[in-house]
Structure 1
Amino acid sequence: MKKYVVIIIAIVWLSACNKNFLDRRPLDATTSDVFFETPDQMRTYMNTFYNSGNFPKYENHGSDYESDNQVTNTPNQRLQGTRTVTTSGTISFTDVRRINFFFDNYKRVEKNHTLTQYQQYLGEAYFFRALIYFKLLQSYGAIQVVTKELGVDSPELFNPRDPRNAVADFIIGQLDSAATYLTADKTSGAGRINRWIALLIQSRVALYEGSWEKYHAGTVFGVDNAKPEVYFAKAAEAAGKVMDAKVYSVYSTGNPQSDYKNLFALMDYSTNTEMMFWRKYDNNLTGGDPDFTNDRFYRMRTPTNRTITRQLADAYLCTNGKPITGNEQFHGYNTLALEAENRDPRFYQTIATPDQVWKIQINGSTENWSGAYAQLNSAADYNAPSGYIIQKGYNPNLVYHVQQYEESPGIIYRYAEVLLNYAEAKAELGTLTQADIDKTIKPLRDRVAMPNLLMAAIATDPKWEFPALSPLINEIRRERRVELAAEGFRWNDIARWAAADELIVGTRPKGFKASQIAKNPFPVDEQGFLDPFQKSLPSGYGFKLGRDYLNSIPESEILLNDKLKQNPGW
């Protein structure tokens, strides 16, 4: 892999041209000689990393459109392989500078306060610095780690980048510190982060780096002195600590036909056992603030080109715990209703089917999805390139649907990921036992009344996505795909598994049988399935394996330093 240096101050201040501008402090902070003298000042500063302009951008929840799980009416450029090098612009290190400002100045609080009075905010600072760097690692690979606020003449600006595994180690270390200082209280999940969230993210980072080092070995993205097993062990350790604490559990009311769907449509998670962190929207507090606009339910009333692929739909097992291929329980594709029969209930709790209630009017009257189903592709709002309409995260009660200022909560972290990270890490280490599966995969399947995954009786699937890997790894990955569908994990999973050659290159997203709908502006394949990109991508996605796993570095930054090199393939 080629090397480059991220030029921190040049990135942050590239548009500035005079020294007075360059010397300014962050606009959301007072001068350092009077700030951070009290825990309240520390809290105020850390609050800026929670707001909608900061915190969610370190997350990936909300959609899988940059993957094989979901599709709109336009091919994704990364998957298509048509991105070009940016000639201008920067990699934003603004938040690196902002968080380092905190670390450079927070110790003045020690004059009049003990550690116990401010350690929560110190833990948050470590947590957010880890999130910031993890996002950069996922986007650009190896980067320069800077832990102090730099000046315009700092020699560190021209240091070479740190190896990606050194960056990963730094992130994991930051999360160790975060877990040390953060509260162990569960809280309502909508206030401040806690120790268990830091450990969740540590398991995510370690699993990501371990997978990357294992599956990209021998490629231009490989890592010198790779030790994936070290990261897998750390991922299992961190997830295990959360599990052992027994602070969280899988949400279930005992109704397998609706519990999974309802989890994502609740209006409050304050007492929810699975939700680790979520965003609360309260118009009495934030109404009119553009940073807090929200209208998820309102937008989901019609598909508007937001659809799920048949590739994802086919991943759902039948209720006997076996894949659909050659399964007598699978009733085929002629109608969506038939396709949903005898399937893992997460199928029809993720994908809308014609018989479900789609709208509950304020007067209590109901309308099922067949009304929208009959109108598919009849107008822009009803365009559905694949036909499979997502309902995960949708609440049909129209009293909650408000354009722009809706109070539907935003899910950020949930306990299911902890369980899946643990199971995958142990499987990669070759140490996963049936007892491990019983405490990770089984609770997720129990929620929807699906049979447990039995290591000694895994049903062969001739269409496994990863035929070169073990049946156990294939099924662990399937469970992850199904449980976390449309939550924004899929691209990062494909990237860390180096799986674009199996899942993306030369493929096109497909949909359900076109014969089910009266109007259809989209192409149809030779078997009668919707094939929306048949004309625009006749040879399928052109994802470039030696390039597109990472983003390019803007050429304008490369010109600033002779040590800055472009990423592979660009």
Structure 2
Amino acid sequence: MKLYKSIAGICLALSIFSSCTKDLDKDTPDQFTDDNFWTSENNVRTYNWSFYSLFTGFGTGTTGDFYFSSFTDDQAASTFQNFALTAPTTSSDWNWTYIRKANIMLERIDQVPMSDEAKRHWKGVAHFFRAMDYFNKVKTFGDVPFINKSLDVSETDQIYKARDPRTLVMDSVLSDINYAVANLRVKDQDNTVNQDVALALKARICLYEGSYRVYHTELGLPDAEKFLTQAKDASEKLMTGKYLLGDYKALYSSMDLAGNKEILLYKRYVTAILTHSVIGYTNSTTQMSGLTKSAVDSYTTTDGLPISQSPLYKGDATITDVRTNRDNRLLVTVDNFLAYNGNLVNGLSSSTGYRPAKFLQPASNQLAPYNETDAPILWYAEVLLNYAETCAILEKIGKYVVTQTDLDKSVNLLRKRGGIAALTLNGAGSVSASGTIINDPKRDADISPLMWEIRRERRVEFMMDGFRYTDLMRWKKGEYLDKAKNPEAFLGAKVPANGKVQLDANGYIKPYSDALTRTFVDPKNYLSAIPTGQISLYPPGVLTQNPGW
């Protein structure tokens, strides 16, 4: 089953409740109304397809989760990116279309003539997508209005209600995703939402919220342990041998991810139906958003040690040196040549010199926006990383003791795939690799070596995958995006001067002029602004703005 499914069906599902025309009032035989639509499981299935557009994947233009999510310390966008200084009038994220759609589905299912099992499954689907949409809204805005029924235009008290506390919304999200886990089919049609997919999303949601509450102590949010414990449990339920790690590059460059044992859910791209631009933008004369020095330096050497500790590290005088004795994931992620202003390679140029390579697939159409490779949505590597990090945070708050077994069945599997030595637990947050105690001089003082290495694994495993910004926000590490506090996030490869590329005093590419700077403002930049156009629609003082805006 392909995520794009039937375009006609999706359009139908989107339009069923958007208006009531005179033609529909006539109840013509070839058109549906709310009264005659809910008559079969097939119709419910048709209604649900448009929810799948909430999975962005590679996107369709330049806004996908992968590569284009370059506003992090991992990439330097081809044009300088900064935080918004003022609140916008509108935001596509402040939209309740899919919440309303899920609420309608929940209210109508019981009237459909189908089995109780089918009713429970489709309610589970609606709860799944409502949970996901509200989770995304909380990540973006924090407190948001929680609405769990379809509203009539006359219900202005609910339409213009105040923002509900984050705790209420996320408790509701947890309730929704737990319902989905308990009631979704173990398997429905291929590549659709099922029980395992719900468990994977639950682990993602609960790790995010639990860790956010641990690190954002200024908010005084309760129940971090509740979310973290459920994240660990959900992850562990998927770690039974059903899913297996495969080829790292295949995750990002496959023409068809069907049958890949690492994949729980993916987005299918097909010529002339749904295509994307990721390959085109990493394989054209348009300057690429290259990896930063900070990102490249985060990959260990094959002995599993940070480059500052390893005798295997050859330095960064050349791209060959950079790639020698390094994690295989680095070799997949960046190409074996440098391309930059004054040193184009077949017309290619990267903002930092490092050419992103892991999405390339010669069998696909190479031009944007006609690329056809599939995009992973939920996959096993994330499950393993969620498990490892959850265990470590629970240890931090005194609710668990991490064991070697925990590492061996999670991050060490990923390190093995990367061709680097396993982590050995020494106790009290200390870890070793290849017989050497790891003590990375770049480690933040408030983070244990164990947690630092787990975060490193998450960073390199998900390089350019759209996780990094969200991770920095939940860890309360927004300063990593600040030029003054993390200058290596604004540097690229070391190259010889050629008069056409800007270099710092040590010979590293500077993607931007010194006049361009980025400052992270705490707490302002941890949440997006509520659109001012929305605030103006509400009675005065009802819809409040986020701090700092």
Q: TM-score range by the shorter chain?
A: 0.7 to 0.9
Cα 1:413–1:387 shift into 2, 3 Å:
same
- What is the aligned counterpart of 1:410 among 366, 369, 375? 375
- What is the aligned counterpart of 1:383 among 332, 337, 349? 349
Q: 1 CA distance for matches of 2:280 and 2:78?
A: 20
Alignment correspondent of 2:243: 248
Q: Percent identity?
A: 29
1:135 equivalent to 2:117? Answer no
- What is the aligned counterpart of 2:422 among 444, 452, 463? 452
CA-CA distance at 1:53 after TM superposition: 8.4
Deviations 1:436-456 (A, max 9, x none): 110001211111221111112
Alignment-mate amino acid for residue 211 of structure 2: S
Alignment-mate amino acid for residue 95 of structure 1: Y
User: Is contact 2:317–2:495 with CA below 8 Å preserved after alignment?
Assistant: no
Q: 1 CA distance for matches of 2:419 and 2:20?
A: 64
User: Is contact 1:281–1:408 with CA below 8 Å preserved after alignment?
Assistant: yes
Q: Superposed, which structure 2 residues align to 1:416-427 within 5 Å?
A: 416-427=381-392
CA-CA distance at 1:171 after TM superposition: 1.1
Unaligned runs of 5+ in 1: 1-18, 252-258, 355-369
1:520 equivalent to 2:521? Answer no
CA-CA distance at 1:54 after TM superposition: 7.3
User: Is contact 2:308–2:441 with CA below 8 Å preserved after alignment?
Assistant: yes
Q: 1 CA distance for matches of 2:70 and 2:414?
A: 24
CA-CA distance at 1:326 after TM superposition: 4.0
Cα 1:418–1:326 shift into 2, 3 Å:
closer
1:466 equivalent to 2:444? Answer yes
Alignment-mate amino acid for residue 482 of structure 1: V
With the length of structure 1 as denominator, give the TM-score of the two structures: 0.81
1:344 equivalent to 2:311? Answer no
User: Is contact 1:202–1:235 with CA below 8 Å preserved after alignment?
Assistant: yes
Alignment correspondent of 1:230: 226
Q: 1 CA distance for matches of 2:58 and 2:126?
A: 16
1:260 equivalent to 2:248? Answer yes
Alignment correspondent of 1:214: 214
Alignment correspondent of 1:280: 268
Q: Superposed, which structure 2 residues align to 1:50-65 within 5 Å?
A: 50-51=52-53, 60-65=65-70
Alignment-mate amino acid for residue 293 of structure 2: R
- What is the aligned counterpart of 2:105 among 102, 121, 138? 102
Cα 1:379–1:419 shift into 2, 3 Å:
closer
Give the SS at the match of 1:435.
Answer: helix
1:92 equivalent to 2:95? Answer yes
Q: 2 CA distance for matches of 1:103 and 1:295?
A: 36
Deviations 1:371-412 (A, max 9, x none): xx48865499633221111111212x2565355333211221
Deviations 1:238-286 (A, max 9, x none): 1111113x321111xxxxxxx3223322222221110111122233xxx
Give the SS at the match of 2:526.
Answer: coil
User: Is contact 2:141–2:528 with CA below 8 Å preserved after alignment?
Assistant: yes
- Give the count of matched residue pairs: 500
Structure with the greater relative contact order (CA < 8 A, sep ≥ 6): 1 or 2?
A: 1
Cα 1:267–1:376 shift into 2, 3 Å:
farther
Q: 2 CA distance for matches of 1:316 and 1:187?
A: 39
Cα 1:399–1:235 shift into 2, 3 Å:
closer
Cα 1:462–1:129 shift into 2, 3 Å:
same
Deviates most, 432-441 or 380-389: 380-389
Deviates most, 317-326 or 397-406: 397-406
1:541 equivalent to 2:546? Answer no
Q: 1 CA distance for matches of 2:45 and 2:350?
A: 45
Q: 2 CA distance for matches of 1:186 and 1:274?
A: 18
Alignment-mate amino acid for residue 279 of structure 2: F
Deviations 1:406-433 (A, max 9, x none): 3211221111000000000000011221
Q: 2 CA distance for matches of 1:403 and 1:20?
A: 38
Alignment-mate amino acid for residue 466 of structure 1: D
Give the SS at the match of 2:45.
Answer: helix
1:316 equivalent to 2:299? Answer yes
Cα 1:552–1:475 shift into 2, 3 Å:
same
Give the SS at the match of 1:413.
Answer: strand
User: Is contact 2:303–2:310 with CA below 8 Å preserved after alignment?
Assistant: no
Cα 1:103–1:249 shift into 2, 3 Å:
same
Q: 1 CA distance for matches of 2:293 and 2:405?
A: 33
Give the SS at the match of 2:544.
Answer: coil
CA-CA distance at 1:520 after TM superposition: 3.3
1:491 equivalent to 2:469? Answer yes
Unaligned runs of 5+ in 2: 1-18, 26-30, 396-400
Alignment correspondent of 1:76: 81
CA-CA distance at 1:298 after TM superposition: 3.5
User: Is contact 2:340–2:352 with CA below 8 Å preserved after alignment?
Assistant: no
CA-CA distance at 1:503 after TM superposition: 5.2
With the length of structure 2 as denominator, give the TM-score of the two structures: 0.84
Q: 2 CA distance for matches of 1:441 and 1:567?
A: 37
CA-CA distance at 1:169 after TM superposition: 1.5
Give the SS at the match of 2:118.
Answer: helix
Give the SS at the match of 1:40.
Answer: helix
Deviates most, 198-207 or 100-109: 100-109
Alignment correspondent of 2:279: 297
Q: 1 CA distance for matches of 2:165 and 2:249?
A: 42
- What is the aligned counterpart of 2:406 among 419, 423, 436? 436
Alignment correspondent of 2:14: none
User: Is contact 1:87–1:555 with CA below 8 Å preserved after alignment?
Assistant: yes
Give the SS at the match of 2:377.
Answer: strand
User: Is contact 2:304–2:421 with CA below 8 Å preserved after alignment?
Assistant: yes
Alignment correspondent of 1:7: none
User: Is contact 1:165–1:209 with CA below 8 Å preserved after alignment?
Assistant: no
Alignment correspondent of 1:3: none
Alignment correspondent of 1:239: 235
Alignment correspondent of 1:254: none
Deviations 1:166-188 (A, max 9, x none): 21121121111111222223975
Q: 1 CA distance for matches of 2:201 and 2:413?
A: 21
CA-CA distance at 1:304 after TM superposition: 2.2
User: Is contact 2:76–2:511 with CA below 8 Å preserved after alignment?
Assistant: no
